[in-house]
Amino acid sequence: MVQQDEESEWDQLNRTNWKGLGLTDPIKNIEDKWLLLPAFLKVKGLVKQHIDSFNYFVDTDIKNIVKANNKVTSDVDPRFWLKYTDINVGFPDRNEENAIDKRVTPNECRLRDITYSAPIVVTIQYTRGKNIVQRNVHIGRLPIMLRSNKCVLTGRSEEQLARMIECPLDPGGYFVVKGTEKVILVQEQLSKNRIIVEIDNVKGIVQASCTSSTHGGLKSKTYVATKKGKIYLRHNSIHEDVPIVIALKALGIQSDKEILLLTAGNTDAYKNIFAANLEDAAKLGVFTRQQALEYIGTRVKINRRVMGPRRPAWEEALEALATIVLAHVPVKGLDFRAKAIFVATMTRRVLMAMEDEKMVDDRDYVGNKRLELAGQLLALLFEDLFKTYNSNLKIAIDKVLKKPSRTTEFDAFNTMRMQGDHLTTGFVRAISTGNWSLKRFKMERAGVTHVLSRLSFIAALGMMTRISSQFEKTRKVSGPRALQPSQWGVLCPSDTPEGEACGLVKNLALMTHITTDVDEEPIIRLAFMLGVEDICLTTGTEIYGPHTFVVNVNGTIIGVTRQPTRFVAQFRKLRRARRCSEFISIYINNHQRAVHIACDGGRICRPAIIVENGRPRVRSEHIRLLKQGKAMFEDFLQKGLVEYLDVNEENDTYIALYESDINPNTTHLEIEPFTLLGAVAGLIPYPHHNQSPRNTYQCAMGKQAIGAIAYNQFNRIDTLLYLSVYPQQPMVKTKTIELVGYDKLPAGQNATVAVMSYSGYDIEDALILNKASLDRGYGRCQVLRKNATLVRKYPNGTFDRLADAPLDETGQIAKKYDIIQADGLAGVGERVDPGDVYVNKQSPSNATDHAFTGQAASVPYKNTPLTYKSPVAGNIDKVLITDTDNDQTLIKVLIRQTRRPELGDKFSSRHGQKGVCGLIVNQEDMPFNDQGINPDTIMNPHGFPSRMTVGKMIELLAGKAGVLTGKLQYGTAFGGSKVEDMSRLLIENGFSYAGKDMLTSGITGEPLEAYVYFGPIYYQKLKHMVMDKMHARARGPRATLTRQPTEGRSREGGLRLGEMERDCLIGYGATQLLLERLMISSDKFEVNACSECGLMGYNGWCTYCKSSKKMAQLTIPYAAKLLFQELMAMNVVPRLILDDA
Amino acid sequence: MPSQTFDNRRLVGIHAERVTNVSNNEFPGHYPGEDHSWNLEKFKKNLTVTVQRLSQHSIDFDIVGVDASIANAFRRIMMAEVPTVAIEQVFVWNNNSVIVDEILAHRLGLVPLNVDPSLMKMREPDTTPTDQNTLVFNVDITCERNPKAPKGTLNPHELYINSEFLSSHITWTPAGDQEETFAAKRPAPINPNIVLAKLRPGQQINMELHAVKGVGKDHAKFSPVATASYRLLPHIKITKPIPPSKAEKFQKCFSPGVIKIDPRTKEVSVDEKNVRNDSVSREVLRHPEFADSVELSRVRDFFLFNVESEGPYAPERILPEAIKVMREKLAVIRQAALALREKTTTVDTDVVMADS
What would the pLDDT profile of B340-352 be if each residue is shown by its tens digit? 888 765 555 666 6
State the pLDDT at residue B2: 40
Could you give phi then psi for residue A338, rounded to 5 degrees?
-60, -40
Cα–Cα distance measured from residue A240 to residue A817, given in angstroms and rounded to the nearest whole number: 76
**pLDDT for residue A250:** 84
Instruction: Say if CB A511 and CB A607 are below 8 A apart.
Output: yes
**Chain B residues close to A1005, C-beta within 8 Å:** 68-69, 71-73, 75
Distance CA B121, CA B84 (A): 11
- pLDDT at residue B248 greater than cutoff 50: yes
Q: How confident is the model at residue B73 (pLDDT cuts 50, 70, 90)?
A: very high
Enumerate the β-bridge partners of residue A213. A219
pLDDT at residue B344, as a whole number: 63
Cross-strand bridge partners of residue B234: B298
- Residues of chain B in contact with residue A1010, where contact means CB-CB under 8 angstroms, are 17-19
pLDDT at A1063 over 90: yes
pLDDT (tens digit per residue) in A798-847: 888 898 888 888 888 888 898 999 999 999 999 999 999 999 999 888 77
| pLDDT(A14) > 90 | no
Highest mean pLDDT among A58-67, A122-131, A651-660, A1011-1020: A1011-1020
Query: Cα(B319)–Cα(B333) distance, rounded to whole angstroms?
Result: 21
Distances (CA, A) of A588 to A263, A571, A593, A646, A650: 21, 12, 7, 13, 11
d(CA A229, CA A235): 19
In terms of DSSP bridges, do strands A180-184 and A175-177 run parallel, antiparallel, or are they unpaired? antiparallel
**Residue A779: its chain B contacts at CB < 8 A?**
none
CB contacts, 8 Å: B76 with chain A: 924, 1002
For the ranges A350-359, A975-984, B290-299, which has the lowest average pLDDT? Answer: A350-359
**Neighbour-count burial for A677-714, b at 16+ CB within 10 Å, e otherwise:** bbbbbbbbbbbbbbbeebbbbbbbbbbbbbbbbbbbbb
A701 in Cβ contact with A914 (< 8 Å)? yes
User: A527 in helix, strand or coil?
Assistant: helix
Q: With H, G, I as helix, E, B as strand and everything else as coil, classify residue A447.
A: coil
**Beta bridge partner(s), residue B160:** B145
Q: What is the pLDDT of residues A128-167, one digit of tens each?
A: 878 888 988 888 999 999 999 999 998 889 999 999 999 9
* Mean pLDDT (whole number) for A545-567: 88
Query: Which chain B residues are closer than 8 Å to A1008 by Cβ?
Result: 19, 22
- What is d(CA B258, CA B294) in angstroms, rounded to the nearest whole number? 14
CA dihedral B282, B287, B292, B293 (to 10 degrees): -80
Judged against a pLDDT cut of 50, whether residue B1 lies above it is answered with: no
Mean pLDDT of chain B: 89
Greater confidence (A213 vs B43) lies with: B43
> Residue A263: is its pLDDT beyond 70?
yes
Closest CA to A266 of A532, A548, A536, A534: A548
As a whole-number percent, the residues of chain A with pLDDT over 90 amount to 42
Residue pair A1091/A1138 in contact (Cβ under 8 Å)? The answer is yes
Bridge partner residues of A371 (DSSP): A188
Please provide the DSSP assignment of B207-250 as one string.
Answer: EEEEEEEE-TTT-GGG-SEEEEEEEEEEEEEE-SPPPGGGHHHH
Tens of pLDDT, residue by residue over A491-548, are 999 999 998 888 889 999 988 889 888 888 899 999 888 888 888 888 777 888 888 8
Q: What string of DSSP letters covers A77-104?
A: -TT-EEEEEEEEE-------TT-S----
Q: Give the start-end residues of each E strand in A274-417.
A: 369-372
Under the banding of pLDDT at 50, 70 and 90, the label for residue B355 is low
| Model confidence at A22: pLDDT above 60 | no
Q: Could A998 and B14 be called an inter-chain contact, meaning their C-beta atoms sit closer than 8 Å? A: yes
Residue with the bigger pLDDT between A623 and A495: it is A495
DSSP string across A17-84: SBTTB-TTSPPPP-TTGGGHHHHHHHHH-TTHHHHHHHHHIIIIIHHHHHHHT-EEE-SS-TT-EEEE
Q: What is the pLDDT of residues A690-718, one digit of tens each?
A: 999 999 999 999 999 999 999 999 999 99
How far apart CA A856 and CA A798 sit, in angstroms, is: 5
Distance (Å) from the alpha carbon of A727 to chain B's nearest alpha carbon:
14
Question: Rounded to an integer, what distance in angstroms lies between the CA atom of residue A368 and that of residue A635?
Answer: 31
B205 interfacial to chain A (CB closer than 8 Å): no
pLDDT band of residue A410 (cuts 50, 70, 90) is confident
Band of residue A6 on the pLDDT scale cut at 50, 70, 90: low
Nearest alpha-carbon partner for A963 in A774, A719, A1133, A731:
A731
Question: What CA–CA distance (Å, rounded) separates A576 from A1062?
Answer: 72
A544-561 burial, b at 16+ Cβ within 10 Å, e below that, comes to bbeebbbbbbbbbbbbbb
Burial (Cβ within 10 Å: 0-12, 13-18, ≥19) of residue A388: middle
CA dist., res. B185 & res. B188, Å (int): 9
What are the residue ranges of helices labelled H in A284-373?
A: 289-297, 313-319, 337-355
- What is the Cα–Cα distance from A561 to A162, expressed in whole angstroms? 58
Number of Cβ within 10 Å of residue A225's Cβ equals 21
Q: How far apart are CA A452 and CA A462, in angstroms?
A: 10
B229–A932 CB contact, under 8 Å: yes
The minimum CA-CA distance between A812 and chain B, rounded to whole Å, is: 23
Q: From the CA of A1076, how many Å to the nearest CA of chain B?
A: 29
**A595 forms bridges with which residues in the sheet?**
A551, A588
pLDDT over 50 (residue A20): no
Distance in angstroms (rounded) separating the CA atoms of residues A58 and A66:
12
Q: Tell me, what DSSP letter sits at residue A809?
A: T
- pLDDT in the model for residue B145: 92
Q: What span, in angstroms and rounded, lies between the C-alpha atoms of A164 and B302?
A: 64
Once rounded to an integer, what is the mean pLDDT over residues A273-281? 84
Supply the DSSP symbol for A825.
B
- Record the pTM: 0.89
Sheet holding A801-802, edge to edge: A801-802, A841-844, A861-863
> CB-CB: which of B19, B76, B281 is closest to A1007?
B19
ipTM for the predicted complex comes to 0.91
**Pairing status of strand A556-561 against strand A513-514:** unpaired
Query: Whole-number mean pLDDT of chain A?
Result: 87
Residues of A with CB under 8 A from a CB of B: 714, 725, 771-772, 775-777, 780, 782, 829, 875, 877, 896, 898, 922-924, 928, 930-933, 986-987, 990-993, 998, 1000, 1002-1011
Average pLDDT of B102-108? 94
Cβ contact B23–A922 (<8 Å): no
B321 compared with A409, residue with greater pLDDT: B321
A305 pLDDT band (50/70/90 cuts)? low
Nearest partner of A128 among A385, A397, A430, judged by Cα: A397
- The alpha carbon dihedral of A412, A413, A418, A423 has a sign of positive
Q: So what's the pLDDT on residue A29?
A: 63
Rounded distance, CA A104 to CA A118, Å? 10
Residues in CB range of B126: below 8 A, 6 or more apart: none
Please report which confidence band the pLDDT of residue A339 belongs to, taking 50, 70 and 90 as the band edges. confident
Contact A993 B17 (CB under 8 A): no
* Catalytic residue annotation of A: 765
Alpha helices in A448-490 (DSSP H): 457-464
CA–CA separation, A782 and A786 (whole Å)? 13
Q: Taking residues A1073-1097, what's their average pLDDT? A: 91
Contact in structure between A462 and A495 (CB atoms under 8 Å): yes
Instruction: Find out whether A597 and A523 touch, Cβ atoms under 8 Å.
Output: yes
**A183-209, pLDDT tens digit by residue?**
999 988 888 888 889 888 888 888 888
Residue A22: other Cβ atoms inside 10 A: 8
CB atoms within 10 A of CB B314: 12
How is residue A578 annotated by DSSP?
T
Give CA–CA dist A255/A260, Å, rounded: 9
Q: Of A183, A200, A64, A31, whose CA–CA distance to A627 is shortest? A: A31
pLDDT-based confidence at A476, cuts 50/70/90? low
Enumerate the β-bridge partners of residue A997: A1012
pLDDT of residue B356: 47
> Does position A3 have pLDDT exceeding 60, yes or no?
no
- What is the structure's pLDDT at A502? 87
* Residue B198 backbone dihedrals phi, psi, to 5 degrees: -100, 140
Q: Is the dihedral of CA A626, A631, A634, A638 positive or negative?
A: negative
